[in-house]
Structure 1
């Protein structure tokens, strides 16, 4: 049985013993061909699915931190559902990663048994938010970039990736629109809300450069018609962001200046925030190996 919210899924009791993400979720990819596409390195496909899956998993965890802290009950429900969407995408992508690598690791193992150095999410996903303005600015940047990628992945030669992307496009479109509406509302609002939104945009947008830096596996899969070269997403991202910020009466920040090396999450380089996230997220799973709810 499928559910529209996290609460129904978590309180349903069926024969699914996996406890990590709750029970009661129907398989949205039932019947999709799981065979790996011809001529594609399974290791590259596994790494790519980990990248996209880890992005969703870590961003979802950050969003849940805003439950009970949002401005209105409506926003708590919105953020809960956005987080649940990303968690669902992460489940599917981590499952595909496990299938591709062929080492017997499932979604639970990949989510809860890897150390920080083995995670491949972009650092933007693990970043903490100073206030609600920072949250919606980060969500706008993240979802605009992810939507551009997923839209192209609907044509992937990997049937599983194409199906995951087709499902995700509908979800991420809402994520982007929700964040954009708040950026405009705060940017074109009171003197205080404008100042906070401007500060958030100035802090978040220059950090987006990492999103368009391709890892070697991404380039190979893009050439094979399976993945997407993130560098090809920049023009669309910039156009959407400029449109939103213009409506918010905010300036587009200048790109980050060169200087100290920026961690590259695709290579396993992360900020200290990821270790803190994993300590909380993985604590119960590691203390109760093989446990089930």
Structure 2
């Protein structure tokens, strides 16, 4: 893959990124894609976290390796599997890499799916309700570990701190973004998190309407401005090279531009993380980065 041009990092209302699969056999290509995304002006790289998947590299190790080989793009686990990652240690890992990369790390968190696989690796098998409660406690632990207090305590049923010494402090304030789908998770996002990470595979535009309302209501109840909660949307589909419109996120560049602009305008989505699901992946990534993203930036700026 050639690196045709390089942009300086920019602050923008909308961020654009890539969703990568941490296949162990594809490390060289993952590095190439990360360097390309960094050079072409994308903002984010999200990497899924399934520690029980034998073909996958460890997500946090991979993020670290890619981050130190790039200079401007930010990274986040999309999303970290909380039942298999101690939140206090995870908070320290995030803070450490944030310092090393000068503020290019966020934390995507999930309550944990694939419970049989989690249990097979020694993780807890939690009910839906307990998983949400554990996630809420984990957020408190992470924030405490990022504080400048001398010692911190968090009392919980699943995650606790008992006089732990926080540190180091992150270089910037990493966002805590939740992969939330159910009503309780969406409410937790509104009153405790910095962002929401839905995926188009299970969260079509009509789902976003009701979910955004739940997040906004929970944020308002907690005394927060709902606009503080970022919406970073994992978008999967195919950018075709013909003019045929196959529907939402399936069609030529113009279709993708229209869909992303509409999502930003109507659903307040302010981040798009692209996961190509068909076609040659590197070709799809080029079309997204070099054709779709500049057009969406231009149209939203004009509006």
Query: Quick check: which one's strand share is greater?
Result: 2
Highest RCO, 1 vs 2 (Cα 8 Å, sep ≥ 6): 1
Structure-2-length-normalised TM-score: 0.23
TM-score (norm 1): 0.24
**Which structure carries more helix by proportion?**
1
